[in-house]
């Protein structure tokens, strides 16, 4: 099950422009090619970070994954990002050496136990009685959100040795 995106799902998407809908980051058709060590580190960091978010009852966070293509033209070695020691903040090279990946969790701390979040959840659930387009991320419990988030992250990783 995917989450409800108002831009895409309300009135069949007719209320938002194609330009707006094209910016929805709800699909990633590729996989990130990592070594076993890189994949384990990536997933362990995500487990730890999302555990903190779940403990604080946060939902609606996102994975910001940046792919920087390796240039085919020669560059000044002092500016070559592929030469830096790899980490997820500065960049981890893909196993095929075509990409440099950077990853971070973006969170807006939509804490489920706060008054505003409770009111919005109640309003959205009431609306779903009349026009159920599926759950929205803000109406999901923190453990469920974390589980779906980590599943999505595992699915985009391909281990290549």
Which tens digits make up the pLDDT trace of 93-148? 999 989 999 999 987 665 666 776 677 667 766 766 776 666 555 667 889 889 98
| CA-CA-CA-CA dihedral for 62, 135, 50, 57, to nearest 10 | 120
**8 Å CB contact between 100 and 92:** yes
DSSP-derived secondary structure letter, 91: B
Residue 58, domain CATH: 3.30.810
Query: Would you state the pLDDT for residue 13?
Result: 66
| CA-CA-CA-CA dihedral for 41, 145, 2, 60, to nearest 10 | -90
- pLDDT > 90 in the chain, percent: 31
* Domain-located, residue 68: yes
Residue range(s) defining the domain that contains residue 125: 6-20+29-159
Is the pTM here over 0.85, yes or no? no
Strand partners, 101: 67, 92
DSSP-derived secondary structure letter, 70: P
Which H or E run includes 52?
A: helix 36-55
* Domain-located, residue 11: yes
Strand partners, 32: 157
**8 Å CB contact between 107 and 138:** no
- For the cut 60, the answer to whether the pLDDT of residue 3 exceeds it is no
**8 Å CB contact between 116 and 76:** no
* Domain-located, residue 1: no
- Number of structural domains in the chain: 1
């Amino acid at each position: 099950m995917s989450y409800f995106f108002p831009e895409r799902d309300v009135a069949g998407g007719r209320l938002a422009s194609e330009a707006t809908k094209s910016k929805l980051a709800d699909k990633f058709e590729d996989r990130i090619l990592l070594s076993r060590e890189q994949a384990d580190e990536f997933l362990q960091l995500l487990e730890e970070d999302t555990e903190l978010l779940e403990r604080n009852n946060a939902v609606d966070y996102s994975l910001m994954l940046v792919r920087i293509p390796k240039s085919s033209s020669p560059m000044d070695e002092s500016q070559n990002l592929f030469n830096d020691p790899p980490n997820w903040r500065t960049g981890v090279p893909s196993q095929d050496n075509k990409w440099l990946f950077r990853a971070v969790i973006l969170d807006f701390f939509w804490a489920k136990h706060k008054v505003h979040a409770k009111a919005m959840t109640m309003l959205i659930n009431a609306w779903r009685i009349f026009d159920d387009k599926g759950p929205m991320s803000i109406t999901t419990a923190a453990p469920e959100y974390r589980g779906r988030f980590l599943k999505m992250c595992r699915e985009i990783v391909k281990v290549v040795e």
